[in-house]
Structure 1
């Protein structure tokens, strides 16, 4: 079903200029393309000058060509009262101010979502145009399924199933991992423990129907490594999977680091999809995406859209500029908003007495807040997600709308959560500059020093490295180079890799604001006694001096 469009549509544009011949020809062309009773000529009433005359002309064309008319409502905001906020939004988008005469503006305040009663009143002279809205609704048969997973089809050896193929690859991979420990006194015990854990994970993966997911991730990581594209050792909850470790998807031993598989994939949450976050060398990321696009079909692969939302401070600054309020005044107001993640303007007013006073005393500030609150949370811009790629078992257009990104890439019009909600599988292909730097550094060392480094064999207990970190000599080190982190490293004086892991986990807004970081450092140096609320917690929290640092600890508690 196709509709002719608003005032800027081809047919309305020509009819509005009085060129009935071109308008009629365009309507006839569309009717031939879409077929009888599948194409409708729209008539609208938004209080625009000469719109009644235009509607009369459009109805004449519709009757002449036996094309059904349909009454539509050109909506750009929800309520009539939002007209001013919409006008401000247009100025934000076009870089103008309200005082400028030469700017984009709508010709009336009637572009809001009208009620059925309002629409019936506006088109009482053409009742069939109202009735045809119901006819179109009857023809629409969109059904969004939320109970299916559309995992891409994979190719396995002819004598195998995805389940048996995954198990064979995982068990063979684990044997290679375990071979490194051959000859150690606890090898037998280790082997039994690891194989038992692997069997438990495989059972859960099979019961939840995700062998195909693991095989897909295994395949494109295998491709990357075979083509010299650096891949990160593992990130996020997937590092807790021994299956992922055995398949070389990750290079972190989850048992050695006491990680929990159920944090990654919980059989109690049947609707949760696996989510393996993968870091690729920045320069090689596009090659991996190109590989999966060619393997699964360009119609089945797309990057995921992301929307930048208008947050509280940004809304105040944008609206203040458009309203012509002096920058210094807007800046003062914006800085009064508390530094809290995702704080709303309403919450800021409740928390900050200075804001409440400014709104009460100055009508300009009151107007600024009123408009800013209307725009707060709206999408400010769309861009391609830094990592998300969706791969489907059928053309993506069967599931969701698509569009082109700024660089011509195909991307979904649904954001991440909506993509997952309709059962599509997303994969994270994150381009990480650090991997590129590390790879080039290793190559330069081999070229200039004749030393071939294997990153996985670099010892993690070098005291000289910890001395450098403790002295604050960590510029250029991923996740450790910020001034705040350097300050914490200087205070902690790390002596082990576990110290580094803990600091990376603690260097987040929540722990920093709570005082946990200070407690951790003092207890680490024996400056504060280690306390446990219950004796049983000592087993869970002893490694972190009684401070809850990791989600795994929360799960065990």
Structure 2
């Protein structure tokens, strides 16, 4: 055809010349026209070396300065092309001819909203109204006029803006999620202010009940796309995205690209490596770049004298900086937007360039801001770990108790929940987990849901300054005052403190007579803090107040208050929605702690510090942790006999592939012993390091073989597995007598056991020496080692610890002092006793003993250590059993012996023989675990008055 050409290029690379002659010959022979082209890879000719450096970065290569490069791949002018192809003018003319045929019109800001496939004989507006009315009567049994009017108003606005299809699309994939049992968030952002969204089950927040404003979400006086962001469990989000892709077609749905760019330091490092600048010298220079977010190399050059001086040292360093400055800000790599998905009414390949994404979905090659200019609909499908946690807790409750928990129906006035929150017992609770937030909650003592909403909105830079006033007003310690009584209905729920953006809108509507749409425009305008806008808005607001009958002075005072709070005001719709998640988790923690902690621990596998923190907290609430078991443990933490079983995946050096192999093999039957395990897992990715980690974490303890012996037997077991493993599937070598014997080895000391457990699990699973003192420590105000390390407080603290190690030393003056390593059930820390303290307490501070230590925490080289001021021996809780003659005569002492052995633990037992008035301490083999079941059994045997714990 007329549009088929042969391309010829010319540059410094002479290797092309033989091919060009052949192309010219082919053109003449076939009567195919030539076209002059150039392989444009950069704009300016001088950028050739920069391009060369970028290619070297991509390939991980190095180049030498002054190295020759092909500098002809820049955007040449028409004159240069004519000169370059002076002997082939027709080729240049053909290039112009092709350019003239190219007509591109990119349609901007024209919405390309997809159409929802409504049922036959329906249109989007009618169908949306039908679904909303149906949902309204499901959600609100007898809706008042306020609900009916609000729904009609919202539907009218949505229809006028032509967004009915948008709401139907969101309703559809949310409906899919519900049918599949995928938990969705109660709402996110301003969408929670829409009654339409509530009746469509897109959100779970009743906007009328909570006083939320539709105009904050969709303003009829400011046309913009609705923005409904949806939270899904992070492990099920992909299911919903794939449903949307299947529904509307792969050509119409894509995820969005994001570009990671070269920052100042990254550009310097990458170009430095390419130019072979000494790495030590390079890092010494880069450290002079100020640690300021978004700083450029040029800004660093002007701001840092040391940096400026260093890069002037040689021509190579000058070139390094010059090239890095050209690279800075360019895309370095691509990734997928965390949440955004595009849905189009036209095939996306006709609108945007696409590339293959990670899965089946395409990835746009335009970033989000460009896609919005093209009028494409973006929807955010967000993965929220909190929802995964919530779903997991409810699933555990259902599996273990048969009870189905609908978190949307839990009472919002639950006393137990508010008690938990008021104590600051909020580890693991969304939005309420930080140390600062816990302190606020302890002072505030929330007693209603609105308190949680308010504190979530206030606990941010800026409004945090108003928290003390909010707390005092709630507790009646500070008077609540208003500029005018007419502000009371708006500000009374927050004790006169302006917290929410919606309150600003309500003030503008009620006091200045603005429509809520105009009030939203005011809120947006004053937040920008531009003087001309502020002055213009002030005039309109003050006039509006005067028209409503208020005086000018009051109007200006109210406007000043609005301006002052505009930057701090929080979106109430979002605060209510996310506070609902906080409350739901708090409720589950208060009422179902066993299942809460089990799911919570699973959610933080891989974060050793959090695993340790949550296990310690669970233990303080009398929830027992079972050690990892090769036959019982799963990938996740699990519930077993009302206790938490440690996860296989949470053991260090045991990867996901190993866990999968173990669980899969276990389906064929439990492992009989250590050798059986090694044989059956032969060739399935279980290496020596994994096996040793499983041993030292206690996974094989159930077989009754010492851990030291198992460690010594690893070589024997692996050799045996190599010999027997390949034939196991065929049923050969099943004779038990063929198994090797365990290699004997000295037992691990308690300290060694605990050390390995802490290293591999983050916690101790063997009974820690301090575990017998839990109750004593709790009554004595003892802090955990972990909490002391985390807070690094300068206040006096008391810890109850086991002394693992003692290192004596002498000061320069010859006085003796000591350093100690101590631990409790939560962790390990360093302790120091200076000479005066060590002299006084050296007889008490002995390795292998449990002691109460008091002192202050100091931070040295970023590490917390306790400086002792006092050391003491903790009082030991004991069980006292009164023995009467009839107990002996009836043979009850035999039953008592059996019970003490059944409930073996760490608490010593004393028998008091009433007739002889004699006290006898039983040996350690009769020490008991003081569980409720143990105490109840003993009282049932001998009578309540004969059993005393003190």
TM-score above 0.5, yes or no: yes
What is the aligned counterpart of 1:266 among 219, 226, 243?
A: 219
Closer, same or farther: CA 250–401 of 1 in aligned 2, 3 Å: same
2:107 aligned partner: 145
- Separation (CA, whole Å) in 2 of partners of 1:537 and 1:332: 60
1:14 aligned partner: none
> What secondary structure, in the 3-state scheme, does the structure 2 residue paired with 1:111 have?
coil
Q: Is the 8 A contact 1:237 1:264 kept in 2?
A: yes
Q: Find out whether 1:290 has 2:239 as its counterpart.
A: no
> What secondary structure, in the 3-state scheme, does the structure 2 residue paired with 1:429 have?
strand
Deviation track 1:244-303 (CA, whole Å, cap 9, x = no partner) reads: 111111112334444433333233443x32221112233433332232222222222222
2:53 aligned partner: 88
> What secondary structure, in the 3-state scheme, does the structure 1 residue paired with 2:333 have?
strand
Structure 1 residues 362-371 or 53-62, which shifts more? 362-371
Structure 1 residues 531-540 or 279-288, which shifts more? 531-540
Q: Is the 8 A contact 1:520 1:545 kept in 2?
A: no
Q: Is the 8 A contact 2:254 2:343 kept in 1?
A: yes
What is the aligned counterpart of 1:155 among 105, 117, 126?
A: 117
What is the aligned counterpart of 2:198 among 205, 222, 245?
A: 245
2:270 aligned partner: 318
1:70 aligned partner: 35
> What secondary structure, in the 3-state scheme, does the structure 2 residue paired with 1:298 have?
coil
Closer, same or farther: CA 348–223 of 1 in aligned 2, 3 Å: same
What is the aligned counterpart of 1:195 among 148, 158, 175?
A: 148
Q: Is the 8 A contact 1:492 1:524 kept in 2?
A: no
Q: Find out whether 1:445 has 2:397 as its counterpart.
A: yes
- Separation (CA, whole Å) in 2 of partners of 1:365 and 1:458: 66
Could you tell me which runs of 5 or more consecutive residues in structure 2 were left unpaired when the two chains were aligned: 506-519, 524-561, 563-950
What is the aligned counterpart of 2:70 among 108, 116, 126?
A: 108
> What secondary structure, in the 3-state scheme, does the structure 1 residue paired with 2:192 have?
helix
Deviation track 1:423-473 (CA, whole Å, cap 9, x = no partner) reads: 222222223343223212101012213332111123445565456556664
- Separation (CA, whole Å) in 2 of partners of 1:531 and 1:80: 70
> What secondary structure, in the 3-state scheme, does the structure 1 residue paired with 2:90 have?
helix
Closer, same or farther: CA 224–131 of 1 in aligned 2, 3 Å: same
2:172 aligned partner: 219
1:521 aligned partner: 467
Q: Is the 8 A contact 1:316 1:334 kept in 2?
A: yes
2:347 aligned partner: 395
Q: Is the 8 A contact 1:472 1:487 kept in 2?
A: no
Larger radius of gyration: 2
1:20 aligned partner: none
Q: Is the 8 A contact 1:532 1:546 kept in 2?
A: no
Closer, same or farther: CA 247–318 of 1 in aligned 2, 3 Å: same
2:899 aligned partner: none
Q: Is the 8 A contact 1:506 1:549 kept in 2?
A: no
Q: Find out whether 1:423 has 2:357 as its counterpart.
A: no
| RMSD, aligned α-carbons | 3.6
Closer, same or farther: CA 109–530 of 1 in aligned 2, 3 Å: farther
> What secondary structure, in the 3-state scheme, does the structure 2 residue paired with 1:274 have?
coil
Closer, same or farther: CA 97–525 of 1 in aligned 2, 3 Å: farther
- Separation (CA, whole Å) in 1 of partners of 2:275 and 2:469: 53
TM-score by length of 2: 0.48
Deviation track 1:480-508 (CA, whole Å, cap 9, x = no partner) reads: 54xxx33343345452545554565567x
Task: Report the structure, 1 or 2, having the larger strand content.
Answer: 2
Q: Is the 8 A contact 2:52 2:69 kept in 1?
A: no
- Separation (CA, whole Å) in 1 of partners of 2:328 and 2:404: 54
Q: Find out whether 1:208 has 2:161 as its counterpart.
A: yes
Deviation track 1:304-359 (CA, whole Å, cap 9, x = no partner) reads: 22222223343333333333345455555555555555443444445555545545
1:486 aligned partner: 435
2:189 aligned partner: 236
- Separation (CA, whole Å) in 2 of partners of 1:316 and 1:453: 55
- Separation (CA, whole Å) in 1 of partners of 2:393 and 2:49: 56
Q: Is the 8 A contact 2:481 2:496 kept in 1?
A: no
Closer, same or farther: CA 230–47 of 1 in aligned 2, 3 Å: same
TM-score by length of 1: 0.78
Could you tell me which runs of 5 or more consecutive residues in structure 1 were left unpaired when the two chains were aligned: 1-35
- Separation (CA, whole Å) in 1 of partners of 2:469 and 2:408: 32
Alpha-carbon shift at residue 234 of structure 1 (Å): 1.6
What is the aligned counterpart of 2:88 among 126, 130, 147?
A: 126
Structure 1 residues 203-212 or 51-60, which shifts more? 51-60
2:591 aligned partner: none
Closer, same or farther: CA 350–170 of 1 in aligned 2, 3 Å: farther
Alpha-carbon shift at residue 209 of structure 1 (Å): 0.8
Closer, same or farther: CA 193–353 of 1 in aligned 2, 3 Å: farther
Alpha-carbon shift at residue 93 of structure 1 (Å): 1.7
Structure 1 runs of 4+ aligned residues shifted over 6 Å read: 527-542
> What secondary structure, in the 3-state scheme, does the structure 1 residue paired with 2:251 have?
helix
> What secondary structure, in the 3-state scheme, does the structure 2 residue paired with 1:222 have?
helix
Closer, same or farther: CA 541–149 of 1 in aligned 2, 3 Å: same
Structure number with higher relative contact order (C-alpha < 8 Å, ≥ 6 residues apart):
1
Alpha-carbon shift at residue 210 of structure 1 (Å): 0.8
